[in-house]
Structure 1
Amino acid sequence: MTGVTRVVAQGTFDLLHPGHLHYLREAKAMGDELHVIVARRGNVTHKSPPVLPDRQRRDMVSALRVVDEARLGHPDDIFVPIHEIQPAVIVLGHDQHHDEDALRAALDARDLDCEVARASARDPAYDGELLSTGDIVDRVLDERGD
């Protein structure tokens, strides 16, 4: 299909929450198709590994109406799915650890021509709304932990 603007969003997506939905909606608004790459547990090294299994997280992301395709990341090379998808834009979450300039340089080194953008933060819509997996885990431990 020519003329289709593909957008990639990526992340761990452990315990989906409104912050994830905000990120994915913003990413989708930047193109026609939203492809989401869900990080494999073994590749998550910058924070605690996800609680939920890889496939479950992928399936939950895939079920969101805003997502056109969700897949697990490559176990060895994070750029393999980017080569396959050929996005026009890669959208980073507002708080993701990626360095935009370093990502642009890595894309250029691999002859991948796509824009890098960053989604905005979302403020809680009401008192007590949780917008991070860590905050959800903390609340569960506070209210149901031993």
Structure 2
Amino acid sequence: MLEKVTGLSDLKEILHDKEDEEIVFTNGCFDILHVGHVRYLQEAKAKGDLLVVGINSDESVRQLKGKKRPIVPEMERAEMLAALEMIDYVIIFTELTAKNIISELKPDIYVKGGDYKVNELPEAEVVAEYEGRIELVKEVRGASTTNIVAEISKRY
């Protein structure tokens, strides 16, 4: 499964050879994998032919979520995502947003969860520049790493 985890230059080369396929890109922290992630990724994959998932590096997760996160290190998060059949490639990025990686990859479709609004996405401007599409998929209410951590803390 680790062959699905790749760097930017290799991924650009791979995707260049897949020009006839519709490329879908999504991103997130994916700290503790849960049913919300799985449903979201299944819906994202259904939007095109290839699904590329960008995951925030450990340092960027700390900046976004606080010093106690991530719980699962970036390479383990990448490996777990790569094991999911709907995901074709995984890439780790160090920035707080996916703007740079989207600018480099230019996926046909950029997917985010329904808890976002297109006009609030920092990546929206980049996607519009190369005339890609943004699609929102349904949020699974209550399914989040934050809620799982809170429940574990409460119980133990």
Q: Which runs of 5+ in 1 are unaligned?
A: 124-129
For residues 112-136 of structure 1, the C-alpha deviation after alignment (integer angstroms, 9 at most, x for no partner) is 331111111235xxxxxx6211111
Q: Tell me which protein shows more helix as a share of its residues.
A: 2
SS at match of 2:65: coil
SS across alignment from 2:123? helix
RMSD: 2.4
String of CA shifts for 1:59-90, please: whole Å, max 9, x gaps.
Answer: 11111111000110144873332244321011
- The 5 Å alignment of 1:1-146 reads 1-44=18-61, 45-48=63-66, 49-75=69-95, 78-96=98-116, 99-100=119-120, 102-108=122-128, 111-122=129-140, 131-144=143-156
Q: Which runs of 5+ in 2 are unaligned?
A: 1-17
Q: Secondary structure at the match of 2:139?
A: coil
The answer as to whether partners of 2:28 and 2:56 remain within 8 angstroms in 1 is yes
How many residue pairs end up in the alignment? 136
Q: What TM-score do the two structures reach when normalised by structure 2?
A: 0.74
Q: CA deviation at 1:41?
A: 2.3
- Determine the structure 2 residue equivalent to 1:126: none
What amino acid does structure 1 have at the position aligned with 2:107? P
User: What TM-score, normalized by structure 1, do the two folds share?
Assistant: 0.79
Aligned partners of 1:6 and 1:85 also within 8 Å: no
Which stretch of the first structure deviates more once superposed, 18-27 or 99-108? 99-108
CA contact (8 A) 1:74 1:80 kept: no
Looking at structure 1, the residues matched to 53 and 97 of structure 2 have their Cα atoms a distance apart, in angstroms, of: 16
